[in-house]
């Protein structure tokens, strides 16, 4: 191999190494940017969203059915009250004013089932993974939530969104009705709405997987 050939190969190798380094730096910048974006979205949504979280005592069929009965009873009680709320602050005040009654409802349902489980009702900041509700997806992050803990609260949980009010729509079809989406539009910024209302498009699903990973 001549010296000229060696020089050419070394130059090509050097170019490849530099390109690889630049590519790695580019990927790293994308990941850091995605992380910053994820944090920003989560922070913004935290200020605009209140979730409802019910944790069953265990994963037995009976405890899961009990959880669903508690959920249904509480939603039936709080729904008409929250429909009067025009902001998350008003929703928070309504929930706080009704925490004791919510607890009493949960206790009564448990008693009807012959269970003397301890019931804890609280408003707390809760870490949630990426969650899909119908065709609305909320990225992973810390959200304010009204929580009902039944017994040991070690069973599979159930959640929905109290504000904007999405607990009261039928998502069995996997699609949030237009009314629910209109409510989101009214209470979220356009950028926030675009993030959560991906309407079953794969690019958004991939984006949320990436955001969850980089967080």
pLDDT of residue 136: 78
3-state secondary structure 92-107: HHHHHHCHHHHHHHHH
Tokens of 204: 């958004």
Please tell me the chain's helix, strand, coil percentages from 3-state DSSP, rounded to the nearest 5. 55, 20, 25
Measured distance CA(75)–CA(73) in Å, rounded: 6
Q: Is residue 27 part of a domain?
A: no
Higher pLDDT, 113 or 206: 113
Rounded to 10 degrees, the C-alpha dihedral 141/146/150/153 comes to 10
Nearest to 181 by CA among 145, 140, 136, 144: 136
Q: Is residue 18 part of a domain?
A: no
pLDDT-derived band at 128, boundaries 50, 70, 90: confident
Predicted confidence (pLDDT) at residue 194 exceeds the cutoff of 90? no
Mean pLDDT of 195-202: 57
Q: Averaging pLDDT over each range in 23-32, 69-78, 130-139, which range is the top one?
A: 69-78
Nearest to 70 by CA among 128, 143, 150, 3: 150
Say what percent of the chain tops pLDDT 70: 70
Q: Is residue 36 part of a domain?
A: no
pLDDT of residue 185: 79
Q: Is residue 1 part of a domain?
A: no
Q: Is residue 194 part of a domain?
A: yes
Measured distance CA(41)–CA(196) in Å, rounded: 10
Q: Is residue 101 part of a domain?
A: yes
Average pLDDT of the chain is 78
Q: Of 48-57, 185-194, 201-210, give the lowest mean pLDDT range.
A: 201-210
Nearest to 160 by CA among 150, 147, 173: 147
Q: Which residue has the tokens 């990927």?
A: 27
Q: Is residue 2 part of a domain?
A: no
pLDDT of residue 83: 83
Q: What domain range is 202 assigned to? A: 44-214
Q: Is residue 167 part of a domain?
A: yes
- As for how many domains the chain has, the answer is 1
Measured distance CA(211)–CA(36) in Å, rounded: 9
Measured distance CA(137)–CA(159) in Å, rounded: 13
């Amino acid at each position: 191999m001549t010296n000229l050939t060696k020089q050419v190969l070394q130059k090509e190798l050097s170019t490849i190494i530099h390109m690889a380094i630049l590519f790695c730096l580019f990927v790293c910048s994308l990941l850091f940017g995605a992380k910053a974006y994820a944090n920003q979205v989560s922070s913004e949504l935290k200020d605009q969203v209140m979730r409802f979280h019910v944790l069953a005592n265990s994963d037995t069929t009976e405890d899961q059915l009990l959880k669903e009965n508690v959920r249904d009873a509480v939603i039936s009680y709080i729904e008409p009250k929250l429909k009067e709320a025009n902001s998350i602050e008003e929703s928070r005040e309504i929930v706080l004013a009704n925490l004791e009654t919510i607890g009493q409802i949960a206790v009564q349902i448990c008693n009807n089932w012959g269970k003397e489980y301890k019931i804890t009702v609280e408003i707390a900041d809760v870490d949630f993974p990426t969650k899909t509700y119908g065709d609305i997806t909320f990225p992973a992050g810390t959200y304010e939530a009204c929580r009902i803990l039944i017994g040991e609260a070690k069973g599979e949980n159930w959640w929905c969104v109290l504000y904007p009010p999405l607990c009261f729509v039928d998502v069995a079809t996997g699609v949030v009705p237009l009314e629910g989406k209109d409510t989101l539009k009214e209470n979220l910024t356009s950028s926030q709405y675009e993030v959560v209302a991906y309407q079953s498009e794969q690019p958004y699903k991939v984006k949320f997987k990436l955001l969850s990973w980089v967080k």
